[in-house]
Each structure stands twice: as C-alpha cells, then as structure tokens.
Amino acid sequence: MKFFQDLPFVVFVGNPDLCINNECRASKSLEGNKSIRNIIIYTLLGVILTSAVVTCGVILALRIQGDNSYGRNNFDEVEMEWPFILFQKFNFNINDIVSKLSDSNIVIKGCSDVVYRVETLTLLQVNVVKGI
C-alpha cells in the first residue's frame, strides 16, 4: 500500500474509477442511496397511478350499471304504476279521504309531504292524495 501512496497523481489519470484514500466508498454509498430513493419514488408513483386507474374503472363501471338499471323495470316500479291524469273532478268529500289516511296506506314519504293511497267507495277508484 505504501508504494501506491508514494506515486504521483499523474500515474492515476487514465483510471477514473480508481479509489484514492477510500473516497470511492462514499461515492458508491451515495449512488446506492440515490438508487434506493429512485426505487421508492417509482414504486410510489406506480401505486398512485394504479390506484387512479382502478378508481376510474370502478366509477365508470358504476355509471354504466346505473344507466342500464333505469331501462329495466324494478319490482317497485311495476307494482306502483299509476295512470296520470292532470285534471279531473272528483265527487267525494273530505271525510271519505281523511278516514283512509293511515300508515298502512302510505305510498311514499317525501321531504315535504306524505303521499297516501286512498280508495274511494263512491267511485270505486284508487287515488293518490298528497298533503292535506
């Protein structure tokens, strides 16, 4: 070792990877730290990218499935089909309706009112009554 320490630096000019006074170990450890850091960064980017792709796929699948479900008649929709007549004069009084407003005749509860199913005996029709 003493022989190499006494040589002038000009002798080592053509050998760029030669280590002098253990300086190459420090540079190799720095390169190792850089490669580990790069591996961690690439792994995190891969996980984030994969998560984004999977999330977009799930959202797209839910939208497609949601669009298809409106075309089909669900059990509730088939059971609750009502003919819609805009204006019609009825010949019944309030007492005929009030007696039918019970929890068993609730069709739907909304934010503002409750809609009831009322069967009138005078007309023998089933009507929908909202918010009396």
**Of residues 123 and 99, more confidently modeled:** 99
Residue 1 counted as domain residue: no
Residue 2 counted as domain residue: no
Model confidence over 2-51: pLDDT tens digits?
676 777 777 777 776 666 665 665 455 556 677 888 999 999 999 999 99
Position 77 scores a pLDDT of 52
Position 87 scores a pLDDT of 65
Residue type, 89: K
Position 123 scores a pLDDT of 64
In terms of domains, do 43 and 65 share one? yes
Domain end marker among 44, 71, 98: 71
In terms of domains, do 65 and 22 share one? yes
Model confidence over 28-39: pLDDT tens digits?
555 667 788 899
Domain end marker among 50, 71, 92: 71
Q: Report whether pLDDT(62) > 80.
A: yes
In terms of domains, do 14 and 57 share one? yes
Structure tokens at 35: 């490669």
In terms of domains, do 67 and 82 share one? no
Position 101 scores a pLDDT of 82
Domain end marker among 54, 71, 88: 71
CA dist 119 to 52, 97, 116, Å?
Answer: 54, 8, 10
The parent domain of residue 49 ranges over: 7-71
Mean pLDDT of the 88-115 span: 79
In terms of domains, do 83 and 126 share one? yes
In terms of domains, do 51 and 99 share one? no
User: How many domains, the chain?
Assistant: 2
In terms of domains, do 30 and 67 share one? yes
Place of tokens 């320490």: 5
Mean pLDDT of the 64-81 span: 60
**Degrees (nearest 5) of the Cα angle 19, 23, 28?**
90
Question: What's the whole-number average pLDDT of the chain?
Answer: 75
The enclosing H or E element of 33 equals: helix 23-71
Position 57 scores a pLDDT of 95
Rounded to whole angstroms, how far apart are CA atoms 43 and 71?
43
In terms of domains, do 98 and 46 share one? no
pTM more than 0.85: no
